[in-house]
Amino acid sequence: MSRPDLNLLVTLDVLLAEGSVARAAQRLRLSPSAMSRALARLRETTGDPLLVRAGRGLVPTPRALELREQVSQVVQGGEAVLRPAEKLDLKPLIRTFTLRISEGFVENFGPDLIARIGEDAPHVRLRFLPKADKDSKSLRDGAVDLETGVVETTTSPEVRAQALFRDRYIGVVSKGHPLSKGKITPARYAACRHISISRQGLDKEPIDEALKPLGLTREIAVAIVGGFATALALARASDLVASVPERHTGNLRLGMHSFSIPVPTPEFTVSLLWHPRMDADPAHRWLRGCVRDVCTTTH
């Protein structure tokens, strides 16, 4: 059985409202002959004359009167579905957003983001998940609404990305540590005992590659896979040196001494990631704006 042409619903709605082929044609910007052909198709599809001649005009059949209200509601409903979303009302919005975030994001940006969300939309809840890998599957299947991280070759090409801020690695030591005083040279820096942080579990980091041409190597006392917060906690309570992202660890480094690493290391861009199917969702757009604003204003 062939499917009916749903475009005929709009034609039928106008015909029944106008009760005239000529006026319906004018309203739909069709020629009278085209409208007459459309009426013929409607009669064939419904099995009813719909409009019959009475004197110089047309009158609806009982079937047409029966369909008039129903067709009008269907057409209005379809127009509502296809109409752009109305302005989002945040106050009554009830929704939980899941964010998969790189380490340090909650500690550094979470308080301001939660306060901003609570002010704009008091019934919206945030759920933070750690980002253990760069697999985009959770964005694709809808388990995660937003991610933060560095866009790399392994990032799915279908994922949308928007830069949030630039970051760089810095050195951090406890108050009173020898590196908290005097000029920090590459030799002084390398001679200290270090915490190695590698999310990929690699033995060498960009810092080690930068020290290599100088004939210097760091003494790695502790190796951690991931774990900026853990590295800083160890450095705070010992003579170890932690090298961590500056923007991501602002609140975690309070009360400690931070310094620029004395060898050039590459900066990197932290981005906001989401699946394109969420592009036009008003609540999702609002959340993305909140994250961008917080990352711009939080130092």
**pLDDT for the residue 111:** 93
Q: Are residues 49 and 184 in the same domain?
A: no
Give 215-261 pLDDT, tens digit per residue: 999 999 988 766 888 899 999 999 999 999 999 898 899 999 999 99
Name the residue among 156, 161, 127, 158 with its Cα closest to residue 144: 127
Name the residue among 191, 243, 192 with its Cα closest to residue 214: 191
- Looking at this protein, which amino acid is placed at residue 50? L
2 is a domain residue: no
Global confidence as pTM:
0.69
Q: Are residues 69 and 197 in the same domain?
A: no
Q: Are residues 29 and 154 in the same domain?
A: no
Beta strands in 34-84 (DSSP E): 51-54, 57-60
Q: Are residues 282 and 216 in the same domain?
A: no
- Looking at this protein, which amino acid is placed at residue 198? S
72 vs 17: CA distance, rounded Å: 9
For the record, the structure tokens of 86 come out as 């109305």
**pLDDT for the residue 259:** 97
Structural domain span for residue 112: 95-167+269-297
Given pLDDT bands bounded at 50, 70 and 90, which one contains residue 262?
A: very high
Q: Are residues 151 and 206 in the same domain?
A: no
89 is a domain residue: no
Name the residue among 28, 30, 26 with its Cα closest to residue 10: 28
For the record, the structure tokens of 180 come out as 């908290």
Give 164-210 pLDDT, tens digit per residue: 999 999 999 999 999 999 999 999 999 999 998 875 555 567 899 99
87 is a domain residue: no
